[in-house]
Amino acid sequence: MSRIFIIIAVFCSFRGYSQFGFKAVSTFPKNRIAQISTGNKLFPFISGVGVDYWFRLKNYRLEFLPAVHFQYGHERLDLDQNIEGVLNWSVIDFVPSVQFYPLDFFNDCSCPTFSKQGEFLKKGLFINITPGVALSRLSSKQTSINAVNETILFGRAGVGLDIGLSNLLTISPSVSYQVSQRLDWSDLFVTTTSNTLNIYSGVFVSLRVGMRLDKKNY
């Protein structure tokens, strides 16, 4: 967690034309591991929050949003002798996101906020491409099995829309498809599929609130 605060502190050191984004995010895995005793499939989704810093090229709608996200999920397990346990899955990821606006690429507007007049869809529709690295931790306090910590690489690609509420405030929903390296959960699940599933691959959704700090320019 300390790494998150360090990155946020770096973001906050920027002044002037800065824009910061705060997000609600969720990942819906394509493949889900099943509990042996019940056959129940675990972790339909994990959810959390994120923060980013926005900057862009001067004359083109090519934008960069380095970000950090934290997501978490937990599942109840049926253990021996009618004892119930809890399985926790947390993911911290860092992503140097890149996004561009195909319908308005050659434009010098101070987007993604809407200080200039223009067509809503033309100015707001964007495509994002996101490589990333994630730290995954799977653990259970009710069992004697050691936690599984893994660092994996992944990538996302998707679409989104900027919705300007004012010159200084923008809401941006987006949806992406995510492909990741495999997570090996074979220490917790005695099954041939636990170390072969792309458990972190799936659909990633985000709702971003962007805030500019250069009010004096408007």
> Can you list the domains of the chain with their CATH numbers?
2-217 (2.40.160)
So what's the pLDDT on residue 118?
A: 57
Contacts of 10 (CB under 8 A, 6+ apart): none
pLDDT surpasses 90 at 206: yes
pLDDT surpasses 80 at 177: yes
pLDDT classification of 12: cutoffs 50, 70, 90: very low
Q: Distances from the Cα of 162 to the Cαs of 13, 55, 165, in angstroms?
A: 25, 15, 10
| pTM for the predicted model, two decimal places | 0.80
Of residues 45 and 78, more confidently modeled = 45
Q: What does the alpha-carbon distance between residue 98 and residue 60 come to, in Å, rounded to a whole number?
A: 13
Q: What does the alpha-carbon distance between residue 75 and residue 20 come to, in Å, rounded to a whole number?
A: 33
Average pLDDT, the chain: 79
pLDDT surpasses 90 at 107: no
pLDDT (mean) for 38-61: 84
Of residues 183 and 133, more confidently modeled = 133
So what's the pLDDT on residue 179?
A: 93
Residue with tokens 């869809």, as numbered in its chain = 121
So what's the pLDDT on residue 208?
A: 95
Return the SS3 of 145: coil
CA 178 vs. chain centroid, Å, equals 10
Q: What does the alpha-carbon distance between residue 109 and residue 128 come to, in Å, rounded to a whole number?
A: 19
Residue 41 carries which DSSP code? B
pLDDT (mean) for 34-61: 81
Retrieve residue 8's tokens. 């946020």
pLDDT (mean) for 158-162: 93
Of residues 87 and 196, more confidently modeled = 87
Closest CA to 50 of 193, 174, 169, 196: 174
pLDDT classification of 60: cutoffs 50, 70, 90: confident
pLDDT classification of 39: cutoffs 50, 70, 90: low
- Left (φ > 0), alpha (ψ -120 to 50) or beta: where does 193 sit? alpha
> H or E segment at 6?
helix 2-12
